[in-house]
């Protein structure tokens, strides 16, 4: 069986990207990152990707101000890479998902969806809301991406018990530790056939 190809989309520091690559190197993920796409120049994710020796493209509002041209450029990069899966790793733009990519695009969100999901809920905004609401439980969700924020079918979730009075930074650290486990596990489950997407639904065997 040939090694699965992954395209990773990132808009931030690239910690998730690096974690995925580390899992690949450690033999925990039977895949190869064939392309990294960034939403703008100068991101931490760019420095990490270059240090890891990964191929990088930049497609965003600066390089492609017109939304249709930006979407077309992004899909062209994906089509050239021919990935088995596309992984959003802190990607902050909606991704056009034509039929050929349905069931092939994953996102990880830093909450237990549907809680704290949707437009405006990303990154530290989520953890600030969780802290403000004094929640005792948070976590992360790996889900299939659709053309609506955080609404795709859920593949895997990992809960994190929060201690009373935890601030947003502490919550972020605890949730990211869960993300580092959950995302590679979800990807590996798909690649090995343990989990499947069919007609917009997720099944496990």
Residues known to be catalytic? 109
Exposure pattern of 95-129 as b/e (b: 16+ CB <10 Å)? bbbeeebebbbbbbbbbbbebbbeeebbeeebbbb
- Express the helix, strand and coil content of the chain in percent, nearest 5 each: 35, 25, 40
Counting DSSP H helices and E strands in the chain, the numbers are: 5, 9
45 and 38 Cβ atoms separated by less than 8 Å: yes
Q: List phi, psi (to 5°) of 76.
A: -65, -40
């Amino acid at each position: 069986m040939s090694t699965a190809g992954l395209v990773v989309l990132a808009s931030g520091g690239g910690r998730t990207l690096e974690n995925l690559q580390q899992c690949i190197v450690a033999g925990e993920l039977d895949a190869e990152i064939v392309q990294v796409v960034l939403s703008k120049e100068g991101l931490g994710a760019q420095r990490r990707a270059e240090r890891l020796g990964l191929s990088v493209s930049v497609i965003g509002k600066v390089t492609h101000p017109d939304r249709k041209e930006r979407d077309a450029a992004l899909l062209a990069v994906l089509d050239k890479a021919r990935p088995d899966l596309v992984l959003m790793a802190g990607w902050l733009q909606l991704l056009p998902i034509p039929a050929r990519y349905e069931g092939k695009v994953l996102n990880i969100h830093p909450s237990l969806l549907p809680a704290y999901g949707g437009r405006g809920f990303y990154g530290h905004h989520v953890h600030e809301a969780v802290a403000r609401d004094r929640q005792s439980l948070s976590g992360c969700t790996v889900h299939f991406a659709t053309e609506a924020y955080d609404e795709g079918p859920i593949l895997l979730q990992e809960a994190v018990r929060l201690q009373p009075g935890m601030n947003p930074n502490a919550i972020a650290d605890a949730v990211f530790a869960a993300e580092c486990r959950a995302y590679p596990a979800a990807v590996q489950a798909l690649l090995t056939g343990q989990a499947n997407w069919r007609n917009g639904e997720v099944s496990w065997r």
